[in-house]
A = this chain, B = another copy of it.
Amino acid sequence: MHEDCVDSHPAPGGMAIVRPGLRCGGHPERRESMTTRIQKANRKRILDAALDVFSAHGFRGATLDQIAEAAGLSKPNLLYYFDNKEAIHRALLTRLLDTWLDPLRMLDPNGDPETEILAYMRRKLHLSRDFPRESRLFANEILQGAPRIEDFIRGDLRGLVDEKAQVLSNWAQSGRIAPVDPYHLIFSIWALTQHYADFAAQIAMIRGDATDPLDGADAFLAQLYRRLLTP
């Protein structure tokens, strides 16, 4: 995440005229079509607002009005920064997919099997805790048949899953974990962890809106996978 020179919580509305050449880091005139800090900040504001709206209503359900309202900008101003609605959505997905594979990628074939699998589960669980909107954006996309991320799934994701499934399979065959179907094992981790983000509304309504939906989840899932994997 390389985001220097950008406030994380900029004041709303258009403010602070920035003269070109007066930028943060030591490169006064890097190139012709440069990006000012305001532009960066506004793009960020827009994407954050858009994440709120798209994750809650899906692509079609979201409107530019809602996003503009949430970003504190006018609708035409949104379209100054992004070509169209689709482009905003695509930017969000791209940013998401860029890091979506990391937790699984980190699963180390040379580590201790149970430790590695539990750590992977925890990384996914923390993703649900820290980035629930991203999880729901992804879920919306899959629910609708994954029209915009089909290439990613059939390509990078499938490749990585196949690779790690082989690792799990080896661990099972060598008796270091109990014999389990590696694909279902991976799917189960996705299902169990993402559920806490995607179905958070339901969980909150059942457990009471006060309690944190993720309370006790880590302990429960750790117990579950220890018992499942012990040879």
Contact = CB atoms under 8 A, between A and B. Distances in A.
A227 B225 CA distance: 9
A5 interface: no
A170 interface: no
A215 to B, nearest CB: 9
B61 A142 contact: no
Given A150-B205, A158-B205, A198-B139, A188 B224 contact: yes
Contacts of A191: 191-192, 194-195, 199
A40 to B, nearest CB: 30
B154 A205 contact: yes
Contacts of A146: 201-202, 205
Interface of A: 56-61, 136, 139-140, 142-146, 150, 153-154, 157-158, 161, 178, 180-181, 183-185, 187-188, 190-192, 194-196, 198-199, 201-203, 205-207, 216-217, 219-221, 223-224, 227-228, 230
